[in-house]
Amino acid sequence: MEILIYGTINSITLALYALGFAVVYGVSRLPNFAHGALYVLSGFIAWTLLNTLRLPYLPAVLLAVLATGLIGALIYQLVLIRIRGMEIAEIIASYALGLAMLEGLRWGGFKGMTYTLPALLSGSTIIAGVPVDYQRLLMCGIGAVVIALLWWCTHHTRTGLALRGMAQDEQAAMMLGVDSDRMALVAMACGSMLAALAAILLLPLGSIVVENGYNVLILAIAVCIVGGLGSWMGAVLAAFLIGFSQILTVVYLGAHFQMVVAFAAIIVTLILKPSGLLGQQKELEERV
């Protein structure tokens, strides 16, 4: 039961880390290496709104999510749009921006372990003999809702369908009147807001530290590669695969092997199925 409960929690955590990255890449084929930095930045924005401007919790976190989305959109509009299509340049530019954000925060004095966001729910309960805290349960609930909403939006809304169209075939979508740059901008804003949402849900479990940004980026990339770059549902599936593998590793091998699981999953995926679990588009490209 411990494995089931904490495997699910770990999987949804990984899914929340990765969804924003997967959305951006899926739509615009843009590997947003500033994803981890946006995650941390949103945490510090929320912290500042709560503690410096003394805003109530809900407006503060909503503003933080919106501000992060705006920053993501600006990154695309001011920098990434100019190099779109040049993959190496995209990686270097987005990573450099992320690095500048993270190290800028550190340089600006955001260091130490005393920056924290309040948990929405305090306390814990026992589920089938296993203690679980309410914040993690809430995170699981909201995570599941976000995944469902993402699916619904991409299947039943005009913008969502346009995003899916872009993800499936950009040229064809453009022929049908979809504005590629606009959709990439929307995807970048949505991806950044998803990173912020993950931060709002997960950071109250610990403290906001710059190093989180690097860890989140690594895990998001691992999940997306295993799931199939560009596939959102693949990312969710991969999050569960890696999430449960990590928990099983901790139980049967030892905690210090759990990070190895993520890297081993990347290597195995690249050897056996380079397109990932549900990376259908890339699979087609590989066949051609």
| Chain contacts with another protein (rule: CB under 8 A) | 2, 6, 9-10, 13, 106, 111-116, 118-119, 122-124, 130-133, 135, 202, 205-207, 209-212, 214-215, 247, 250-251, 254-256, 258-259
CA gap 229, 239 in Å, rounded? 13
Phi-psi region of 228 (alpha: psi -120 to 50; beta: other; left: phi over 0): left
CA gap 241, 1 in Å, rounded? 17
Kindly tell me which of 59 and 131 has the beta carbon lying closer to another protein: 131
Kindly tell me which of 76 and 115 has the beta carbon lying closer to another protein: 115
Shortest distance, position 98 Cβ to another protein, whole Å: 15
Kindly tell me which of 192 and 246 has the beta carbon lying closer to another protein: 246
CB 52 within 8 Å of CB 64: no
- What's the Cα-to-Cα distance from 140 to each of 173, 204, 212, rounded to whole Å? 34, 14, 20
The residue assigned the tokens 């410096």 is: 52
Phi-psi region of 233 (alpha: psi -120 to 50; beta: other; left: phi over 0): alpha
A 10 A CB-CB count for 205 gives 14
Kindly tell me which of 209 and 223 has the beta carbon lying closer to another protein: 209
Kindly tell me which of 87 and 211 has the beta carbon lying closer to another protein: 211
Kindly tell me which of 176 and 253 has the beta carbon lying closer to another protein: 253
Shortest distance, position 235 Cβ to another protein, whole Å: 19
- What's the Cα-to-Cα distance from 56 to each of 97, 171, 213, 255, 288, rounded to whole Å? 30, 45, 26, 38, 55
Shortest distance, position 277 Cβ to another protein, whole Å: 23
Kindly tell me which of 14 and 183 has the beta carbon lying closer to another protein: 14
Shortest distance, position 173 Cβ to another protein, whole Å: 37
C-alpha distance across the termini of the chain, in Å: 45
Q: What is the DSSP letter of 1?
A: -
Shortest distance, position 265 Cβ to another protein, whole Å: 15
Shortest distance, position 83 Cβ to another protein, whole Å: 27
Phi then psi for 226, rounded to 5 degrees? -65, -40
Shortest distance, position 29 Cβ to another protein, whole Å: 28
Report residue 24 as tokens.
């951006």
